Structures are given as structure tokens and as C-alpha cells.
Amino acid sequence: MPSEKFYTEALENPIFKLIGEAAGQEGIQAYVIGGYVRDFFLKRGQKKDIDVVALGSGIRLAKAVAAKLPEKPKVTVFRNFGTAMLKHGDLQLEFVGARKESYNRDSRKPVVEDGSLEDDQNRRDFTINALALSLQGDSFGKLSDPFGGLADLERKCIRTPLEPSKTYSDDPLRMIRAIRFAAQLQFEIEKASLEAISGQRNRLKIVSNERITEELHKILLTNQPSVGLELLHRTGLLNLIIPELIALKGIEEIEGQRHKDNFWHTLEVVDNISRATDDLWLRWAALLHDIGKAPTKRFDKKAGWTFHGHEYVGSKMVYKLFKRLKLPLNEKLKYVQKLVMMSSRPIVLANDYVTDSAVRRLIFDAGEAIEDLMTLCEADITTKNPKKQKKYLRNFKLVREKIKEVEQRDHIRNFQPPVSGEEIMKAFKLKPSREIGIIKDAIKEAILDGEIPNEREPALRFMLKKGMEIGLTPAAEATKEKK
């Protein structure tokens, strides 16, 4: 039954009237559709990306709108897709002509024909994204909802306008989008849809890794990423995207000794860290912190289950995974690798008596990532034994306090050698040689061990001592100054 409800309050921004007028002058109709309308009904705050569908040429409508705006914005045209985009203040407006699409089986590129509003709504991903509001004259603000999207919003349901396998096969990225929306909005995916996703999962291969990771990021940025990750796992998609995680699944038992299921543990760690931080890359580090455990798992009669070197192996795997998923191969990669590599270090510290020199080494190695590393380690505590949990948290608190104390005194975090290589060369009248490296290293080690403070004068004295120990003779001026 066609809806006769009007929602002009969604269209208070004068831009909507202006688009309606421009469409009128072009002799066509225009509707705002998709995420903007969905988020209005969900009261999620006003979306800055606005999708407009025209019953005619979207490109011509975009140009007509630009011409009516005082700032005359530039219109970017994507002729291949029949779309056009312009910016107006902080809004980004996308225009598209209503389409009736059929998809080529081997790519996500649609074969496009002009269509009616309903044709266009039909070809969209979910009923909640197919809601449209009219922008013209008397019908300004009128809702068009041919597939019961509003009711689905109310009952928190992700459903496709067409038969699900058709919608997903048309554009397999939608399989991950369904899961992303379910995770973001705390909605359920309709059973038939979930089954269609499982059935069609292999179609994901025609989707570019960039698009997949865009959705993965959104899932990781939800309040409780395990919801989306669990759905990806249940539908078999996770195994296609990050098989390294699925390899962590399962518990083995030999001679009565069991290890934990590192897949479900990882999901818990990601949820834990998401309560502490919104940082996407720290969340990635939590997701990947144990991936080295599958290839390094061994059973030893004495030690039981071991995962020796999993941090190192894991950090190498992070590189391959970033490369494969087209994640950035820059400082973000290095940061995640560092956290994976160091993920067990504070635990060892917290189990023993915490010495200053161990903390100094930890700060030296972690640098700016030290606090994030501690956050990761705290999130890594998933024991269900309340006594143990309390003990670990208390130990980490002590480590954090010690870090603060040592850092205030010794400034290790951005360690700069207090004596430069050039100064060492001058002090011993040396040409560039390996001795310089030996002395520099010895100074650093002495500072980290707490033998000398991280200050210039003691470091210079130490340099002379060390140089003489390895058989060098100081230049006369150097000894004069330092005696």
C-alpha cells in the first residue's frame, strides 16, 4: 500500500527545496534516498552524504543544482556510472538517475537501463536503504516505502527488497554490508538473507579487497566488534577474508592438557579493547595479536602446549595480511606489527618482580606505543577466574605506574643518544669505524640497565671508560674536559 506520510522535518535544510526546484525546471522528479533517510528515521544524527535519485539524468540534475547555488560548486561526473557529485558546505551530494539494473556475473559493474523510482528501490541493497522522500512541489517530504523498510527499521531487521540471493549475487559486497549494518545498528539479519549469504559466499571473490576492508573497518569500529566478526565467521566469509583467524579455532587436548580456543579468545580481546579505545589500528592489533599461534603450536611432554615465537611469526604474518587486504603498508603496519611483536612483553614483566631496567627496556622498545601496548595487554586478560583477573589487572597497574615513574626520571620514550657518533670520533680521533657503534651501543645499554642516568656528562665519562677498555686512546682535550 503506497505510503501517504510526509516527513518534511527530514528536509529542513534549504538545499532540498532547491534540488526539488531544479528538478522541476528540468521537468523531472527527484528523491532523497538511502542512508540519509534511514538515519533520519533512526535518529542517528544528520548524515553529511546525501543520495539523490532523479527520474531522468542525475548528471543533468547535478549541474542544474550547481547552477542555482550561489557558490557555483564544481560538479564531478562519473560518466561510467551515470552519477555526479558536488559539495555544498559540509554536505556531499550524489546524484544518480533512477535505474533498472542487471549485473554482469563476473563483475560488480551493472548494466544500466533507465527505470522508475520503484525499479531503483528494487535494485538497492536493503529495504531500510530503499526508503525515499520526494523533493517536488506538493509531494515534498512524502515517503515512498514500497518494501516495508520503515517496518523493518522498527523491528530491527536487515532484509533485501528482492529475493536475497538475487540481491547478493548482483553485488556480493552487500553480504558484508548486511553484516556491517547488523553490527552497527544492532539489527538482526533475516534468516533467508543469512542463508543466502552463506550460500553465495564464494561470490566475494569478485569484490576488490579495498571495498572489503572498508566494510571490515566499519565492523571493527562498532561498539562490540565480535557481533560482526561472529556473523562473518558463521556465514563462512571470515575464512575467505582472514583465514589466519579461523586457523586459531578449536581446542586440542593431549594427555589431559588443553589450550584455550584462541579464536574466541581473540574476539573477546577485540571487544575488551573496544571499550577502552576507538583507535582503529589498536583494534586491528587486538584482532591480530595471536595470529602467530596457529603455525607455532606444539605439544611438549614437559611444558604442555607452547606457542614459542608466536609474536615474531605473527608480526611477519601481519605484513602479508596487510599486503593481501590492501591495508596501508606504512606506519600503521609498523605500529600493528610492533604491538603484535611485543604483545607478551608486559605479561612477563607483570609476572615477575618489576625492575626499573626491565621497564626502561620496555619503554625503549615500545616508544610512543607504550600506553597502547598496555591497553592491549589489559584487554588480553580474558580469564573467567575472578581472582586471577584481579591479580593480572593489579600487576599491570603496577607496570603502568612504574612506566610513569621511570619515564619521568629517565626520558627513554624518544630515546636520543646523549653522545653522538661524531663526538665519539672526535674524543678518540677516530675515522668512521665499528668502534663507534660499539661505544654508542654500550652507552645505550648502560642507560637502559640503570648503570648511568640518561644525561650527557655521565654518558661522556662512560664513553671514555668504554673506549679505553676496548683499547682506544682518548685525545688529550677529551680527557682534560672530563677528568
SS3 at position 51: strand
In the complex with ligand CTP, the residue whose CB is nearer, 96 or 406, is 96
Report in angstroms how near the CB of residue 108 gets to ligand CTP at its nearest. 8
Helix ranges (DSSP H) in 155-291: 164-170, 173-185, 191-200, 209-220, 226-234, 237-241, 243-246, 262-276, 280-288
SS3 at position 414: coil
Report in angstroms how near the CB of residue 49 gets to ligand CTP at its nearest. 5
Phi/psi-derived region of residue 350, left when phi > 0, alpha when psi is between -120 and 50, beta in every other case: alpha
Grid cell of 147 as nine digits = 518494501
In the complex with ligand CTP, the residue whose CB is nearer, 129 or 193, is 129
Report in angstroms how near the CB of residue 96 gets to ligand CTP at its nearest. 9
Binding region for ligand CTP (CB under 6 A) out of 112-120, 121-129, 230-238, 376-384: 121-129
In this structure, what DSSP letter does residue 189 have? E
In the complex with ligand CTP, the residue whose CB is nearer, 218 or 440, is 218
Q: Pick from 17, 18, 35, 77 the residue near ligand CTP by CB under 6 A.
A: 35
Report in angstroms how near the CB of residue 307 gets to ligand CTP at its nearest. 38
In the complex with ligand CTP, the residue whose CB is nearer, 33 or 313, is 33
Report in angstroms how near the CB of residue 60 gets to ligand CTP at its nearest. 20
Helix ranges (DSSP H) in 13-111: 14-26, 35-41, 58-68
Grid cell of 212 as nine digits = 572489503
The letter for the amino acid at 150 is L
Asked whether 32 and 132 are in contact (CB, 8 A), the reply is yes
In the complex with ligand CTP, the residue whose CB is nearer, 160 or 315, is 160
Q: Pick from 31, 84, 99, 124 the residue near ligand CTP by CB under 6 A.
A: 124
Report in angstroms how near the CB of residue 286 gets to ligand CTP at its nearest. 23
Contacts of ligand CTP in 140-199 (CB under 6 A): 171, 173-174, 177
Grid cell of 447 as nine digits = 642507560
Report in angstroms how near the CB of residue 33 gets to ligand CTP at its nearest. 6
In this structure, what DSSP letter does residue 44 have? -
In the complex with ligand CTP, the residue whose CB is nearer, 16 or 396, is 16
Does 125 engage in binding with ligand CTP (CB under 6 A)? Answer: yes
CA-to-CA distance for 50 and 95, rounded, in angstroms? 9
> How many chain residues touch ligand CTP (CB under 6 A)?
11
Binding mask 41-60 for ligand CTP (x = CB under 6 A): --------x-x---------
Report in angstroms how near the CB of residue 39 gets to ligand CTP at its nearest. 8
SS3 at position 346: helix
Q: Pick from 34, 149, 418, 474 the residue near ligand CTP by CB under 6 A.
A: 34
Asked whether 168 and 206 are in contact (CB, 8 A), the reply is no
CA-to-CA distance for 222 and 326, rounded, in angstroms? 21
Report in angstroms how near the CB of residue 45 gets to ligand CTP at its nearest. 12
Binding region for ligand CTP (CB under 6 A) out of 123-131, 186-194, 200-208, 413-421: 123-131
Binding region for ligand CTP (CB under 6 A) out of 122-130, 192-200, 224-232, 235-243: 122-130
CA-to-CA distance for 231 and 194, rounded, in angstroms? 9
Radius of gyration of the chain (CA): 30
In the complex with ligand CTP, the residue whose CB is nearer, 174 or 400, is 174
Number of other CB atoms surrounding residue 457 within 10 Å: 11
Asked whether 339 and 372 are in contact (CB, 8 A), the reply is yes
CA-to-CA distance for 205 and 199, rounded, in angstroms? 14
Distance of CA 412 to the CA centre of its chain: 29
Instruction: Find the residue with minimal CB distance to ligand CTP.
Output: 35
Strand duo 132-134 + 30-33: pairing: antiparallel
Binding region for ligand CTP (CB under 6 A) out of 124-132, 252-260, 384-392, 399-407: 124-132
In the complex with ligand CTP, the residue whose CB is nearer, 125 or 311, is 125
**Which is it for the CA torsion 112, 77, 172, 51, positive or negative?**
negative
CA-to-CA distance for 362 and 345, rounded, in angstroms? 8
Binding mask 389-428 for ligand CTP (x = CB under 6 A): ----------------------------------------
Interacting residue ranges for ligand CTP, rule: CB under 6 A? 34-35, 49, 51, 124-125, 129, 171, 173-174, 177
